[in-house]
Copies of this chain bind each other. A is one copy, B any other.
Amino acid sequence: MKTRILYNRIAVLREERGISRKELAEKIGVNFQTVGYLERCEYNPSLDLAFKISEYFNLPIEFIFSTKPMKHMSQEILELKTAKDR
């Protein structure tokens, strides 16, 4: 199957939690370099690994990964706030 590039928010989410790739890698049970590959979108995770990341951040897979480039979370917040008072 010709694999599409998938986009993700791993780097920002990791930053929010203030943890290093090494720490995240340990939590989800992969090599720390694998986290690097994922953050740079050099390859896609398996569904199993996506679930582990989703469980660690306690966020749905669709919030972390997307087939289309992701909006910045900051932007998304502002849009949601604006939508509220219409």
Copies of this chain, count? 2
Is there an interface contact between A65 and B49, defined as CB atoms closer than 8 Å?
no
Report which A residues bind B (CB closer than 8 A). Answer: 1-4, 6, 29-30, 44-51, 55, 60-62, 65, 67
> Which residue of B1, B48, B62 contacts A4 across the interface (Cβ within 8 Å)?
B48
Q: Closest residue to A60 on the B side, CB-wise?
A: B62
Which B residues lie within 8 Å of A30 (CB)?
Answer: 1
Extra contacts besides A6-B47, A45-B47, A46-B47 (14): CB < 8 Å: A1-B48, A3-B48, A4-B48, A6-B51, A44-B46, A44-B47, A47-B49, A47-B61, A47-B65, A55-B67, A60-B60, A60-B61, A61-B61, A62-B62
